[in-house]
Amino acid sequence: MAHFDDLETRDPAQRQEELYAALPGLIAHAQSQTDHYAKALAGIDPDSITSPQALAGLPVTRKSQLIELQKANPPFGGLVARDRRIERIFQSPGPIFEPQGQNPNFWRAARALYAAGFRPGDLVHNSFAYHMTPGAWILDDGCRALGCTVFPGGVGNTEAQVQAIAGYGANAYAGTPSFLRVLLEKAREMKLDLASLKKAMVSGEALPPSLRQRIAELGVTVHQCYATADLGLIAYESEALEGMIVDEGVIVEIVRPGTGEPVAEGEVGEVVVTTFTPEYPLIRFATGDLSAVLPGTSPCGRTNTRIKGWMGRADQTTKVKGMFVHPEQVAEVVRRHTEIAKARLVVDSDDNHDRMTLKVEAEGVGQVLADAVAQSVQAVIKLKGQVEIVAPGSLPNDGKVIDDVRTYE
């Protein structure tokens, strides 16, 4: 079986030794070159952090903190190293700003793409959004590092994208799985031949078995990766399709949500990541995502830890159509309409297509308010959603602002 490099097949003990030997240098760099870690890790001796147990004693920096940290110290909250140059700045919903450094394969996505069968010379149709957010750039960067040619399809314009794929003969796809299905089914409806398209790297939303099977029936083999705008690649699928293999450039811990305390192997907890990226040296960065470690190693020969992939959120932030949706955004919608007493965003799925419905308590109002609120939802969250006006007092008194009721079976 082909591997991206020899790092993937290291003895696990050797991998741990080498990662933790590099950890003191990362911590010293973060302490000296970033405002945030100068404070968060004040008094910590970097040379003492050479084991998983020592790392687990460091404080956690939470993704949910970034909005306030960045407001206080724009644009990156004091987490970007002063001695490194940033090439691009992105903005994800929240808003949260993310940097891209100068190094090729900055987000390390090439490793995941290689495991999915992407090779030099492939023609890749990239349907992640190139506008403001880094999603498309993460995969674009990894594809070009592999020697692939990239078509920047972006989102929307389904018929035009189908025509483009048929016209230039893309053999690979990057984007969300739901949009890949849309493209393949639209091609059949338009009677256009997309037989050249054989493989895909998907991310940004759940890939339930039913959707993977439907895409396979349409002629495309799908692999998925788990990446974030802040950390880059965290884990990825190989041809074995048995869990997701942790990237070689990070340390992943699974911790009890809200505590930072590592849980036992197999127990579901929050994904906490330390990444060896000198421009953005995130140490014990709590993603808010839930996952669990799978025992053993992958049959594909890669020896790093495997996780089960994305299993939901440890907080109320969720992903809809590949975009994060935060409770703060729901609050902003409510602030724009004084008629609303209370609101709850319900996220569900219809045949593997994500849907949002904002339920709002309001008295004596009708469609005019619903239409106005729907416009605010799109303006603030950057996604379309339905609005349902309900009677005052009818929403549950459980503190939930976002209720994600999707299942992943």
Tell me the β-bridge partners of 226: 235
| Residue 307 sits in the same domain as residue 325 | no
For residue 217, pLDDT over 90 is answered with yes
Last residue of a domain, one of 175, 200, 229: 229
- Same domain for 71 and 108, yes or no, is no
Q: pLDDT band for position 409 (50/70/90)?
A: low
Cβ 93 vs Cβ 325: under 8 Å: yes
Phi, psi for residue 341 in degrees, rounded to 5:
-90, -35
Over residues 303-347, the pLDDT tens digits come to 999 999 888 777 778 889 888 898 779 889 998 999 998 899 999
pLDDT digits (tens, 9 = 90+) for 22-63: 999 999 999 999 999 999 999 999 999 999 999 999 999 999
Are 293 and 392 in the same domain? no
| pLDDT cut 70: percent of the chain above it | 98
CATH number at residue 120: 3.40.50.12780
The boundaries of the domain holding residue 133 are 103-229
- Alpha-carbon distances of 44 from 37, 38, 215, 223, 353, rounded to whole Å: 10, 10, 50, 40, 47
CB 93 within 8 A of CB 226: no
pLDDT at 1: 66
pLDDT of amino acid 399:
58
pLDDT, tens digit (0-9, with 9 covering 90-100), for 79-100: 999 999 999 999 998 899 999 9
Whether 270 maps to a domain, the answer reads yes
Whether 332 and 320 have beta carbons less than 8 Å apart is answered as no
Determine the pLDDT at residue 353: 87
pLDDT tens track for 187-199: 999 999 999 999 9
pLDDT-wise least confident of 156-170, 195-209, 361-375:
361-375
Please give the torsion angle defined by the CA atoms of residues 154, 156, 162 and 167, in that order, rounded to the nearest 10 degrees.
-40
What pLDDT, on the 0 to 100 scale, is given for residue 400?
67
Residues 356/382, Cβ–Cβ less than 8 Å: no
